[in-house]
């Protein structure tokens, strides 16, 4: 082979190597872009789940709300199925249960099939949970049950991560109260201090019912065993 032919061969091989490297680089960049898109999609989905919006985009069914002892009840007193939910506003599993059952329970409560009682407790003793529970107590005592029910929903829709519990300020909690329609002078005054009697009563109920985890759910007086999927299944079967 002549020197000229060898030079041509080396040039062609070098060009082929550069072309192959360019293809690999393009593929790497395409793969990287695809990975970034997937990650961003997951982040947006997670942010949407945590930052608000509730179980669905449609408004909750209109339902009668009444005040209980440390609780708010949705639905008529003569409903054949009674569901009691002990929950912590910071508990992510309680949020999952809310997202999975709220629309179903409200629609059936409006139809007279079920009455659901929401009983907040301070199991996790977190900043957000205690601020939310104190606001719930203030609205329940000094505003309307309907506002307390709406505040209950808003507190779950805006639940922060457990590791970031203190990120929702007291002024933001007051914003939730106002959005729920529960704001007045008495409520704002009550929010300046913690309602120790409300917290102590909730602790007494926890001890009496031997509640050690949230959510804890009773259907017609009987406790439901299992995690959130089992609770959802039991509620749907009971209501029909």
| Residue 13: band (very low, low, confident or very high) from pLDDT cuts 50, 70, 90 | very low
What is the arithmetic mean of pLDDT over 234-238?
Answer: 98
pLDDT for res 59 = 59
Pairing of strands 81-87, 114-120: parallel
pLDDT for res 46 = 42
| Residue 53: band (very low, low, confident or very high) from pLDDT cuts 50, 70, 90 | very low
For residue 231 the two structure tokens come to 């609770």
Answer whether residue 208 shows pLDDT above 80: yes
Closest by CA position to 134, among listed 215, 188, 211: 188
The CA-CA-CA angle for residues 85, 91, 92, to 5°, reads 110
What is the arithmetic mean of pLDDT over 26-51?
Answer: 42
Kindly report the length of the chain: 240
What is the arithmetic mean of pLDDT over 106-123?
Answer: 98
Separation of alpha carbons 87 and 206, rounded Å: 11
pTM over 0.75: yes
Helix orientation angle between 170-179 and 127-142, rounded to the nearest 10 degrees = 40
What is the arithmetic mean of pLDDT over 6-28?
Answer: 47
pLDDT for res 62 = 82
Answer whether residue 154 shows pLDDT above 90: yes
- Average of per-residue pLDDT values in the chain: 84
Percent over 70 (pLDDT), the chain: 75
pLDDT for res 205 = 97
pLDDT for res 116 = 98
pLDDT for res 122 = 97
Q: Phi/psi zone of residue 184: left (φ > 0), alpha (ψ -120 to 50 degrees), beta? A: beta
Percent over 90 (pLDDT), the chain: 74
pLDDT for res 51 = 41
Question: Tokens 């609205």 map to which residue?
Answer: 139
Q: Which long-range contacts (CB under 8 A, 24 or more apart) does 195-201 make?
A: 195/134, 195/137, 195/138, 195/141, 198/70, 198/133, 198/134, 198/137, 198/141, 199/122, 199/130, 199/133, 199/134, 199/137, 201/69, 201/70
The secondary structure of the chain in percent helix, strand, coil, rounded to multiples of 5, reads 60, 10, 30
pLDDT for res 54 = 52
58 vs 9 pLDDT, higher one: 58
Q: What is the pLDDT of residues 162-191, one digit of tens each?
A: 999 999 999 999 999 999 999 999 999 999
Answer whether residue 228 shows pLDDT above 90: yes
pLDDT for res 26 = 52
Closest by CA position to 88, among listed 128, 55, 120: 120
- Measured in degrees and rounded to the nearest 5, phi and psi for residue 105 equal -70, -40
pLDDT for res 34 = 43
pLDDT for res 172 = 98
């Amino acid at each position: 082979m002549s020197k000229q032919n060898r030079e041509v061969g080396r040039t062609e091989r070098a060009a082929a190597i550069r072309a192959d490297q360019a293809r690999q680089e393009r593929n790497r960049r395409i793969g990287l872009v695809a990975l970034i898109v997937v990650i961003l999609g997951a982040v947006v989905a997670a942010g949407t789940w945590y930052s608000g919006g509730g179980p669905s985009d449609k408004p909750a069914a209109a339902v009668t709300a009444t005040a209980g002892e440390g609780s708010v009840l949705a639905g008529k007193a003569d409903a054949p199925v009674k569901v009691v939910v002990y929950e912590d506003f910071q508990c992510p599993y309680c949020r999952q249960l809310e997202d999975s059952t709220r629309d179903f329970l409200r629609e059936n409560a409006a139809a007279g099939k079920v009455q659901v009682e929401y009983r907040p407790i301070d199991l996790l003793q977190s900043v957000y949970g205690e601020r939310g529970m104190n606001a719930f107590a203030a609205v329940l005592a000094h505003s309307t049950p309907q506002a307390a029910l709406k505040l209950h929903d808003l507190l779950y829709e805006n639940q922060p991560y457990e590791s970031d519990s203190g990120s929702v300020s007291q002024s933001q909690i007051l914003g939730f109260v106002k959005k729920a329609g529960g704001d007045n002078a008495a409520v704002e005054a009550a929010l300046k201090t913690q309602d120790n009697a409300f917290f102590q009563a909730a602790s007494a109920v926890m001890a009496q019912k031997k509640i050690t985890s949230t959510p804890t759910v009773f259907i017609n007086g009987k406790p439901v065993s299992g995690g959130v999927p089992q609770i959802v299944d039991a509620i749907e079967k009971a209501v029909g």
